[in-house]
Structures are given as C-alpha cells and as structure tokens.
C-alpha cells in the first residue's frame, strides 16, 4: 500500500551535521541514534550521569548507546529525555519517531497535494523497486512499502530528499562520492530558481542547506543547472541493509495530473565499487558532466509548473489515505483483520496496528490530529523492528508470536525450514560472540576503553542488539524474541 504524506514548509530533518563533523569510526557508531543523543547531550552542556539517571538505566548501558547500541526507549523515557536535554519540537520529532514510531505533527500547510488513486496504484505496483513521489521542492508526498523499509527517512515529518542528502549524516554516508552528488543536488536547486524563484518553501530549503559551509562553497564554485536525475547510475550504502553497497539506477517521470511533481523509481543491481563502468555500461559518475542549461529546457519546466497550477486552480481533488477514526483505519486490513492492541501501545501512544492475515501485512495507523488517522500498510518485519527488546507482557508476547509467524513464509514446510536457517545463524553469531568474550578476558588482549561486548555486537550486526541467550536452552524465551529481531533485520520473505 502506498503511504501518502502531507507537506508543511517547516525546517528539515533532525540529526544534522556540518562538514567539520566527519565520521571516523564504524558506521553504527556515528550514523545512528547514539550519535544524535550524544550531540544533544553535549549541546545541553551535560555529562552522561544526569541523562542515564533520567532514563532509569545504568551508566554502562547508556555508554553503549552513545557508542552505537540501538535502544528502544518507552514514551515515558522519551518524555524524560526531552525534558532533561531541553529538546525543541523538531528534536522531539526525531526522538519519538526513532523510539516509538510516532511524532508530534504540525498542522499541514494550505494547498497540500492530493495524490490521485491511479497514481498511488502505480507507485504501489513498482514493488519491489523503491518508489516515491515528490513535489517540485523535493518534499516527499507518497512512497511504496519498499521505499519506506529501505529508506525509512521518507516517513519522517516533512521529509525532503535534498535536505536529507545534504544536511544529515545518514544522507552523506549513503552516497558514494558524496561531493559529486552534492554538486548535482545544488544544480537542481539552481534550476528550480529559474522556474519558481519566489516559492517560500524553495527559498527556505536553499537557506537550510547553505548553512553548511561546505555546501555554500560548492554553490559558489559552480554555475551549471540540472533539472532531474533521470538515468543516473550511482553507488550507495544502505543503512537498513547493514550498510551494504548497491548500485542504483534512477528513473524520473512527470505525471500528467501532477506535472510539477517527480515520480521516481529506483532499480538496483549488485555493486562493483572498483569498476570504471556503471551497471548500464556508462562511465562511472558520468552524470556529473550532464547539465540542463538551455532556455528550451527551462521553458519546458516552466510550462509544466504553469499546467500544474492551472489544474490546482480548477480544484482537481482526489482521495487520500486519511480516515476519520481508528475503526475505519482497521478496515483496510480486510476481512479477518486482527487488532494488536498490546503491540500498538509499545510502538506508539497514538498508534493502532491491525494484522491482515489475508495479505500478510500490517495496517499501521497514526492519529495525526483529532478525527484524522493516517494509514500505511507495511510488512510484519517492519513492526517487529519497532518492538522494544526484553521481557514482554503476556498479551504483547502472544501478539508478537502471531506477527512473527506472518513474517515467515506461509507454507508450513517453508516456514519450518526458514526457522531452522535462522536458528543456525543465531547459534553461529552467539559462538562468535563467546569467542570474542573469551578473547577480551585474555591477559594479552588490549581492550578498547569505550567498548564492551554490547558495542561489538552493534558493529558486527547493525540493528537491534543481539541476545547472548542460546535458542533451545535455558533461555528459550529470549531466543524467540531474538529470532523475531533477526526477522526484523532481514528483507521480507515472499509468501
């Protein structure tokens, strides 16, 4: 199911970094929530002590979080953290989104886009290729399940491609040869100035990215323009795939009903980072020499924008995936839908999860405002990844067990085979960790000052921290939760 978002003109995503804050360590230690938490703490002028006390966790646990371990704080812990760190609304957005899967949503701006049902269907049918629709200022309007699961930043409030690519640590680390990509994005902004210079949202976006001195320097050093990235082939490291490098081909189209918006489909192949040729046989990063500086190209873009404004002036309205109440949201799961109230409470305070056995998906509904519920359809593994690790209440555990079954293949034999495969992988990981644990206790091993087994787990396997319980032994229950965690880290399995 395609998710649609409504776009405001506020500031960009949280976790921004300037060019002077270049990452130097393992990806998990500088990209994720821990780095953002450390940045907030230092900005508040606090030591670690008042922060871990406010969270109600041990000093050691907190230290591992700042060094890359992946926590899942509760709503109460998030509130306490926001209070002690004096976080503003934007940072509270990021905090809540990471930990409980919801956020404080501002009132949408007037004139927001409605996405036509046929266009939503087209986005959905691009599966398994990640696909999204953005407006003329690169604000994300809609996306399919693959896009949300591989690049979850699109689900953030006011998600914007260029703001993410140029101002966040994750965006910077995603693109290989980031400076070349930054040059192209800057050229796209410059092209936009020729077609809608007076757009306040565009002006704000440019001001935001130029706060980075490195971006300002690139802006001043170049005068070329680029309209789009259609046909560009590039290498990227994807966080949700354990920072695996893939090669992406970008396809850009302009829908007739929304001609000032970009319909973007990304296909990929296994990457060959050392190759001088890309997946289509072209020169690697040859798109850097491509420009759209001619008056004809500018005229065509202006004609598209004028046509889009004409259509909106004629009040062309379409349906949206926004419903009046939680009951209507649940109906999107179809006949036999199963409410998951215990897991819903764990995921977010204004969240409702409904399992669709027929489609083997979960309808994720969030109350955006009184009488307005935004609805997305995701895989069970996406929800599993949001469940806090640890001992769960009986009802939540029963719901998680049911959800985990639907994350496995439908046929019994295939599901049993998959479980055996997962258990074997977990056994091997645990043996490896025990070996490292023994090495750490040896007299000749120099132990890093700020690392322990928990942080090593994060380095070895991005995602939820691994348990050391061995499935099938005295801590069987922990092993089951661990297996669910592994399912959440893996791509969905075809039914």
Residues 411-425 as b/e (b if ≥16 CB within 10 A, e otherwise) read eeeebeebbeebbee
Determine the pLDDT at residue 45: 92
Per-residue pLDDT at 27: 31
pTM of the model: 0.45
Q: How confident is the model at residue 309, as a pLDDT?
A: 67
Token pair in block for residue 99? 């930990």
Q: Which residues contact 2 (CB under 8 A, 6 or more apart)?
A: 115, 120, 121, 123, 124, 142, 143, 144, 321
Helices (H), 151-271: 161-167, 169-174, 178-196, 200-209, 213-220
Q: What pLDDT score was predicted for residue 493?
A: 42
What is the full DSSP assignment across 22-85?
---S-HHHHSSHHHHHHHHHHHTT--HHHHHHHHT--HHHHHHHHTT------HHHHHHHHHHH
pLDDT tens for residues 13-48? 333 333 333 333 323 333 467 777 888 899 899 999
For the chain, the C-alpha Rg in angstroms (whole number) is 23
DSSP assigned state of 475: T
- Omega before 109 cis (within 30°)? no
* 3-state SS assignment for residue 152: helix
Residue 463 dihedral angles phi and psi, to the nearest 5°: 115, -165
What is the model's pLDDT at position 71?
72
List, for the chain, all residue ranges whose pLDDT scores fall below the cut of 70: 1-32, 70, 89-90, 93-94, 96-114, 270-275, 279-280, 293, 305, 308-320, 444-495
SS3 state of residue 13 = coil
What was the pLDDT predicted at 457?
Answer: 44
Q: Enumerate residues 6+ apart whose C-beta is below 8 A from 208.
A: 11, 12, 163, 167
pLDDT of residue 47: 93
How many CB atoms within 10 Å of residue 470?
Answer: 18
CA distance 155 to 157: 7
pLDDT digits (tens, 9 = 90+) for 273-321: 556 777 667 777 777 777 776 777 777 777 776 776 666 555 433 334 7
């Amino acid at each position: 199911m395609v998710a649609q978002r409504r776009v405001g003109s506020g500031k960009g995503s949280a976790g921004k970094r300037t060019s002077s804050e270049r990452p130097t360590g393992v990806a998990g230690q500088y990209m994720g929530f821990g780095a953002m938490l450390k940045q907030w703490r230092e900005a508040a002028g606090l030591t670690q002590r008042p922060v871990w006390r406010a969270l109600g966790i041990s000093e050691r646990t907190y230290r591992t979080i700042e060094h890359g371990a992946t926590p899942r704080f509760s709503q109460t812990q998030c509130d306490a953290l926001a209070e002690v760190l004096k976080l503003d609304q934007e940072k509270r957005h990021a905090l809540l989104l990471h930990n409980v899967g919801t956020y404080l949503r501002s009132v949408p701006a007037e004139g927001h886009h409605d996405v036509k049902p046929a266009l939503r269907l087209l986005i959905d049918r691009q599966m398994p290729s990640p696909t999204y629709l953005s407006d003329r200022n690169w604000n994300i309007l809609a996306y399919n399940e693959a896009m949300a699961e591989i690049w979850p930043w699109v689900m953030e409030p006011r998600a914007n491609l260029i703001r993410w690519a140029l101002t966040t640590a994750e965006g910077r680390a995603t693109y290989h040869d980031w400076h070349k990509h930054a040059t192209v994005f800057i050229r796209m902004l410059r092209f936009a100035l020729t077609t809608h210079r007076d757009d306040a949202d565009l002006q704000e976006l440019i001001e935001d990215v130029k706060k980075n001195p490195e971006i300002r320097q690139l802006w001043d050093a170049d005068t070329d323009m680029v309209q789009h990235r259609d046909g560009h082939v590039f290498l990227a490291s994807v966080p949700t795939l354990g920072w695996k490098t893939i090669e992406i081909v970008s396809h850009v189209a302009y829908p007739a009903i929304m001609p000032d918006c970009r319909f973007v489909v990304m296909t990929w192949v296994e990457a060959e980072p050392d190759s001088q040729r890309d997946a289509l046989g072209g020169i690697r990063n040859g798109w850097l020499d491509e420009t759209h500086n001619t008056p004809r190209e500018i005229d065509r873009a202006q004609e598209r924008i004028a046509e889009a404004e004409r259509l909106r002036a004629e009040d062309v309205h379409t349906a949206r995936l926004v419903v009046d109440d939680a009951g209507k949201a649940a109906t999107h799961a179809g006949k036999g839908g199963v409410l998951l109230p215990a897991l819903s409470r764990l995921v977010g305070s204004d969240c409702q999860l409904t399992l669709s056995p027929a489609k083997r998906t979960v309808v994720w509904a969030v109350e955006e405002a009184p009488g307005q519920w935004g609805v997305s359809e995701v895989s069970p593994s996406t929800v599993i990844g949001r469940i806090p690790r640890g001992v769960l209440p009986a009802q939540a555990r029963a719901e998680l067990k049911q959800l985990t079954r639907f994350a496995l293949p439908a046929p019994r034999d295939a599901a049993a085979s998959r479980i055996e495969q997962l258990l074997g992988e977990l056994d091997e990981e645990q043996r490896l960790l025990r070996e490292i644990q023994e090495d750490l206790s040896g007299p000749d091993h120099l132990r890093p000052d700020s690392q322990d087994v928990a942080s090593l787990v994060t380095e070895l396997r991005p995602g939820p921290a691994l348990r050391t319980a061995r499935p099938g032994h005295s801590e069987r229950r922990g092993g089951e939760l661990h297996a669910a965690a592994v399912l959440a880290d893996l791509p969905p399995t075809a039914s």
